């Protein structure tokens, strides 16, 4: 279950994030629909890259909502800005995060999504703690990672895949509880985690 974080994919791989086959392979619209984002929500695309998911989330939360696109590479955020400008999206805010801090306002986020990026966090424990601080009570996270077991993701390098046990071993102690594990994606696990409430904190999701 122990693992070594994979190397971070650099901005030179941006074209891969926008590959034409990605829609069929990762079914982004179905993922967004499953999350149940609604008008006015505040959401985050962690490790957003070019904003492939952030741009779709921006449309789901509407003009009264907001999406933070967080990445540690300024060049990726430049791509995000460029794509948002082309699509006329004005409710996406690029955020230059750090390896241990996504630089998000505390207690402000309804939803986060991490797509094929968590396994690259070089210091996952402190980053998870900061992510948890940013969530509202009852805030949720959609985590998508390529499957370690079986053959569905055998085309992906081992270090870029995670098992359910690996994920739970890191997320449960960090103050998250698994709400659902959804398996409709061709090659990826789709976890939904909820912020486990602290004492005196309401954990209900409106």
**What torsion, rounded to 10 degrees, do the Cα atoms 87, 89, 93, 94 define?**
0
Q: Looking at residue 87, what is its pLDDT?
A: 97
Q: Length of the chain, please?
A: 206
| Average pLDDT of the residues in 155-172 | 96
**Tell me, what CATH number does 154's domain have?**
3.40.50.150
Distances (CA, A) of 62 to 24, 67, 92, 94: 25, 10, 11, 17
pLDDT number for residue 197: 77
Residue 200's pLDDT is: 56
- The overall longest dimension of the chain from CA atoms, in Å, is 47
Its domain, for residue 141, covers 23-194
Residue 178, domain member (yes or no) = yes
| Total domains present in the chain | 1
The answer to whether position 201 is within a domain reads: no
Task: Quote the percentage of the chain above a pLDDT of 70.
Answer: 95
Q: Please provide the DSSP assignment of 94-128 as one string.
A: EEE--SS-----TT-EEEEEEES-GGG-SSHHHHH
Question: 16 lies in a domain?
Answer: no
Using CA atoms, how far apart are residues 7 and 151, in angstroms rounded to an integer?
23
Looking at the DSSP assignment, which residues form a beta bridge with residue 109?
Answer: 135
- What is residue 199's predicted lDDT score, i.e. its pLDDT? 65
pLDDT greater at residue 196 or residue 66: 66
Higher pLDDT pick, 127 / 4: 127
Bridge partners (DSSP) listed for residue 141: 112, 193
Residue 58 lies in a domain: yes
Strands (E), the chain: 42-46, 66-71, 92-96, 109-115, 135-147, 161-162, 176-182, 188-195
pLDDT tens digits for range 142-161: 999 999 999 999 999 999 99
- Res 196: pLDDT: 84
pLDDT digits (tens, 9 = 90+) for 76-92: 999 999 999 999 999 99
pLDDT tens digits, one per residue of 1-57: 578 899 999 999 899 999 999 999 999 999 999 999 999 999 999 999 999 999 999
pLDDT, position 164: 97
Let me know if residue 14 belongs to a domain: no
Number of helices (H), then strands (E), belonging to the chain: the values are 7, 8
| pLDDT value, residue 206 | 42
What is the average pLDDT across 179-202? 88
Q: In this model, does residue 203 exceed pLDDT 90?
A: no
Q: Does 190 map to a domain?
A: yes
Query: Does 113 map to a domain?
Result: yes
Whether residue 203 is contained in a domain is answered as no
């Amino acid at each position: 279950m122990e693992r070594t974080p994979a190397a971070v994919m650099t901005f030179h791989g941006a074209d891969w994030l926008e590959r034409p086959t990605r829609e069929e392979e990762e079914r982004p619209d179905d993922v967004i629909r499953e999350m149940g984002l609604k008008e006015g929500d505040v959401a985050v695309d962690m490790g957003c890259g070019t904003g492939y998911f952030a741009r779709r989330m921006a449309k789901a939360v509407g003009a009264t909502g907001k999406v933070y696109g967080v990445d540690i590479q300024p060049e990726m955020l430049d791509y995000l800005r460029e794509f948002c400008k082309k699509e006329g999206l004005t409710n996406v805010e690029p955020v230059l995060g750090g390896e241990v801090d996504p630089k998000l306002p505390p207690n402000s986020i309804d939803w986060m999504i991490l797509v094929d990026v968590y396994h690259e966090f070089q210091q996952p424990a402190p980053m998870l703690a900061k992510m948890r601080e940013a969530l509202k009570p009852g805030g949720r996270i959609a985590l998508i990672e390529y499957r370690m077991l079986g053959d569905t993701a055998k085309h992906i390098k081992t270090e870029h895949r995670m098992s359910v046990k690996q994920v739970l071993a890191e997320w449960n102690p960090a103050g998250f509880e698994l709400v659902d594990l959804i398996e409709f994606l061709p090659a990826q696990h789709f976890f939904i985690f909820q912020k486990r409430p602290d004492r005196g904190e309401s954990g209900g999701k409106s």
